[in-house]
């Protein structure tokens, strides 16, 4: 019982430390991250309310202007992506999809390399104004980071969710970025799902 209570307390503590930030430099790609100073990240910080509102507004824009929302991740984060697409479509009536159908994704990985599998696919199907939700517990997955670069370059909007290192690359690239202060995959993944669920539920309250 003590172990369970400790884990619940840890989970609650992490949720109280969720941090949001905007991209410090819209022209920044992951190749320029090493030049970003820590104080620039601090200067881009948002309150929890501001961060959630920014993500909400991006998704609301996709809903109102009939843009596509793509949700990507690897492993457990891919499962989070699949789960939340259900809610974005069913509750919020947003045109959302994952793009990890096995035959298509392995085609991209085989032809272009795993690091480029999502980015190459998005370069072929994403359009200006479309939204990418990029999920990575570590924030360091190259295929996810490359995908964000592509969508930023084509004029799309990007929302990132990460954890672990507070200066991970993904956290610096999205139009709005959510970071959970934990190195536990379970806590980070559940935290990401909780936040995305909350967004879908709020968007579902809007009746066109």
Question: Length of the chain, please?
Answer: 208
Q: What is the pLDDT of residue 26?
A: 56
Residue with tokens 């997955």: 141
Q: Give me the sheet containing 157-162, strands edge to edge.
A: 45-46, 19-22, 176-179, 157-162, 131-136, 69-72, 96-98
**pLDDT value of position 16:** 73
Q: Is the per-residue pLDDT at 208 higher than 60? A: no
Which tens digits make up the pLDDT trace of 160-203?
A: 999 999 889 999 899 999 999 999 999 999 999 999 999 999 99
Predicted local distance difference test score (pLDDT) of residue 155: 96
DSSP H helical ranges for the chain: 2-15, 38-43, 48-64, 76-90, 102-112, 117-125, 142-153, 185-203
pLDDT at 42: 54
Q: What integer is the mean pLDDT of 65-77?
A: 97
3-state helix, strand, coil in the chain (%, to 5): 55, 15, 30
Going from the N-terminus, what domains does the chain have, and what CATH number goes with each? Answer: 2-203 (3.40.50.10490)
Q: Is 202 helix (H, G, I), strand (E, B) or coil?
A: helix
| Averaged pLDDT, 150-164 | 96
Angle between helices 117-125 and 142-153 (to 10 degrees): 20
- Assess contact for 44 and 22: CB atoms under 8 A: yes
Q: Among 13, 36, 12, which Cα is nearest to 26's? A: 36
Q: How far apart are CA 77 and CA 83, in angstroms?
A: 10
Looking at residue 7, what is its pLDDT? 59
């Amino acid at each position: 019982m003590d172990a369970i209570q400790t884990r619940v307390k840890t989970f609650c503590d992490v949720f109280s430390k969720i941090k949001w930030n905007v991209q410090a430099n819209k022209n920044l790609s992951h190749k320029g991250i090493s030049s970003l100073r820590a104080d620039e990240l601090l200067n881009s910080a948002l309150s929890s309310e501001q961060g959630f509102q920014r993500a909400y507004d991006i998704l609301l824009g996709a809903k109102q202007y009939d843009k596509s929302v793509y949700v990507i991740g690897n492993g457990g984060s891919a499962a989070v992506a699949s789960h939340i697409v259900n809610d974005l479509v069913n509750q919020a009536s947003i045109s959302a999809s994952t793009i990890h159908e096995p035959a298509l994704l392995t085609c991209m990985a085989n032809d272009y390399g795993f690091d480029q599998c999502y980015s190459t696919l998005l370069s072929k199907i994403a359009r200006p104004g479309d939204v990418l939700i990029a999920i990575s517990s570590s924030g360091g997955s190259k295929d996810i980071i490359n995908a964000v670069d592509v969508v930023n370059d084509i004029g799309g909007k990007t929302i990132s969710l990460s954890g672990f290192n507070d200066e991970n690359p993904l956290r610096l690239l999205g139009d709005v970025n959510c970071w959970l202060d934990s190195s536990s995959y379970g806590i980070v993944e559940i935290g990401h799902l909780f936040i995305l669920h909350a967004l879908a539920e709020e968007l579902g309250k809007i009746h066109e």
